[in-house]
Structure 1
């Protein structure tokens, strides 16, 4: 399948993501003939335009026709695609959107009767501001990452965008789509991995829900070597300052390759507030690149999504010299800088936060997309300047439930370069 053909099919491939968007010609309830009055309605008057990024608001005065049902706008968003938008007679405005560029476009307005009789056309010119997908395109930054490329995009409009990554196919050498990230987040940063440490061309273009496509940003990069840390080498450790366990949920369950119960659970109930921490040995030194954390989700009939003991804010500590006990800093705002160590030698590997629900709902409410996002585990990158480490500490400062006295984790997986 060619790269160009795939570009045309991008939004079809999107599947569920696209289905959530408004279709160009969805069922609108205006199609039934509910009147035998074939009188042509009057035209809309006093038309005014207020442009915005990628579209325009159009207001007007409705005609005094008794059989008026709706006002319809017909327009082209680019050289190929036409759209229709309808607004009932209860409203004096409609929105036209999806335009490919910031330029003049003609929009034709019709008043339509209950017998589906159109008025004479009224033509209005709109000049949308720069569409969100074109606003995002200059912000694309591609940098080499462990196993591939890191992609950063700023979506100031928080619009529904597709960030599409392409790279040459190993056999055909033609550019092929290898990743499609659909999002409305303002600040986007993620990595596409699975590539050898050889020079490779990566490209990213931005598309929107109407099929508009930007030019492609290219970068020739050499991915950094990484492999998943061998969990069979992991061992739990226990120092006097470490938190205890409860419910037979032990530290060793954090690397049993299972994201279902049991996992690790700190002592509960307890009157001692967070922060609390645990210590473990990866069994080998490595320059870590990233990790994935899985937290307790739907467990039986109980819903723990974005609640209860799921860590909300935490810090990972590491060291390559023999692990030694030390009371870690208890103020998350007064930590040593990332890459710097405590007096006892524990290096701050990064402060991390639980991502919000994609739907914007508040727990215990959630959508299927929220659940899938949670179950996939949360990926986090390490700073590329960090040194090799072998011994790790997970320090939880706050939990998602807000009680801030305990925490639990189901699985931790690490990647990096142990050579």
Structure 2
């Protein structure tokens, strides 16, 4: 017992001595001496900003070099670079007028050096670059805008549009946020006649309080199409060929090929989808699975404009979980073809990659999946195909492994839009 007490006492003594040896000197002797400011300061003009170069001060507890500016609205923006760097970027300027930037050093005790003021003249602003890149194009019951954001800064695009609706003027504003280098956004479901024009103005803003002037795109006329009736459609049997291409196999397990054109989407509790059972090309296992084709006899000649596809869900009877949407067994990339009667050959129209939504809840995935994925036959220049009686959907890849696997077995519904040829 005595030995135990002795050991405990010795350990406490050692701990006390060690604690006194390794106490942070800054706690007992707080540093109140500010560091020196950066020297030899120069800059290089950037798009909407400046890259500031400097020599860091010789201060052993230097933490960072900082820069800040105040915009025309009185809001201050600050930027920082660690002590081992010799430059920092200041961004967010809305025009090319001279700007004053305050530069200073900061040490670990939060002491701030004297401020050095530098006047910089930035290049064209980020919002100006985005605004000048915007293109607007009419589409079917909609229009879309494309833009480039080479700096990948967070921006907002304000789209103001108005039109006459049966004698009543309708005005709307849609706001799109993005930091992608290339972007496309739609204003859809307008359902206006082709002779009704839409007036459009667009403005760009950033997170630094800058706004571009509204760019007036004038008046545009939208295109119109119709949903093709499925009552006259016919699906060839599996492995029957048209133009040398076999109809795919979709009757595996609970799936049936005919479910693709019955107007009913899979909601998890109704099992309404096709299933290739990993032998989708012809139905023979030796021929493999993908790519498999769905060939549709439309029953008459049509000019096609758009396609709406629905995936297999199988997310449970309550229909509130994601299930298989945008993942397992569903088609992520497909091609579209029409039969060219004159050439007696299949003509490739386009390839479409279904984007996977990001940052969505389970219920949001369900809502997006039930709405389906809409794609244009000619996505960059919306228009109709030449007249055709036969349409071909060619499933290329699944969503799995970033769209690289050929293990898509399922599809729930195909809906087509266009105009009947009289």
Same fold (TM > 0.5): yes
Post-superposition Cα deviations, 1:189-219, rounded to whole Å, max 9, x if no partner, equal 4432222121120222333333422233323
Whether 1:138 aligns to 2:132 is yes
Deviation at 1:400, TM superposition (A): 4.6
Where in structure 1 are there 5+ consecutive unaligned residues? 1-32, 320-339, 360-366
| Contact 2:30–2:109 under 8 Å retained in 1 | yes
The alpha-carbon distance between structure 1 residues 275 and 111, as it changes in their structure 2 partners (threshold 3 A), is closer
- Name the CA shift for 1:46/1:395 in 2 (closer, same or farther; >3 Å): same
Residues matched between the structures, number? 358
Change (3 A) 1:136 1:342: farther
Q: Distance in 1 between matches of 2:150 and 2:43?
A: 23
Residue 78 of structure 1 contacts residue 100 of structure 1 at CA under 8 Å; is this kept in 2?
no
Say which of 172, 176, 193 aligns to 2:172.
176
Q: 1:70 to 1:157 in 2, by over 3 A?
A: closer
Alpha-carbon distance in structure 1 between the residues aligned to 2:129 and 2:222: 28
* Corresponding residue of 1:249: 255
**Structure 1 length-normalised TM:** 0.70
CA displacement 1:34-77 (0-9 Å, x = unmatched):
98433333211122323332223323333334554443322035
Distance in 2 (CA, whole Å) between partners of 1:406 and 1:342 is 33
CA RMSD of aligned residues (A): 3.9
Map 1:65-144 to 2 at 5 A: 65=59, 68-78=62-72, 80-89=74-83, 91-114=85-108, 116-144=110-138
Going from structure 1 to structure 2, the CA distance change for 1:410 and 1:48 (only over 3 Å counts) comes to farther
User: Structure 1 residues 68 and 139, CA, compared in 2 at 3 Å: closer, same or farther?
Assistant: closer
Q: Which of 161, 167, 176 in structure 2 is aligned with 1:167?
A: 161
Aligned counterparts of 1:89 and 1:69: Cα–Cα separation in 2: 5
Q: Report the alpha carbon displacement of residue 140 of structure 1 after superposing the two structures with TM.
A: 1.9
Query: Using the alignment, how far apart are the partners of 2:419 and 2:412 within structure 1?
Result: 24
Structure with more contact order per residue of length (Cα contacts < 8 Å, sep ≥ 6): 1
**What does residue range 9-408 of structure 1 map to in structure 2 within 5 Å?**
36-65=30-59, 68-78=62-72, 80-89=74-83, 91-114=85-108, 116-168=110-162, 173=169, 175-177=171-173, 179-195=174-190, 196-197=192-193, 198-217=196-215, 218-230=217-229, 236-238=235-237, 240=240, 241-245=246-250, 246-254=252-260, 255-258=263-266, 260=268, 262-269=272-279, 270-273=285-288, 274-281=290-297, 286-296=302-312, 309-318=329-338, 340=340, 343-344=343-344, 346-348=346-348, 350-355=349-354, 368=360, 372=365, 375=369, 377-383=372-378, 384-389=383-388, 391-401=390-400, 402-404=404-406, 407-408=409-410
Structure of higher CA gyration radius: 2
Q: Which runs of 5+ in 2 are unaligned?
A: 1-26, 241-245, 280-284
- Per the alignment, residue 411 of structure 1 pairs with 413
TM-score, length basis structure 2: 0.69
Aligned equivalents of 2:341, 2:203: Cα separation in 1:
40
Counterparts in 2 of 1:313 and 1:115: CA distance versus 1, 3 Å: closer
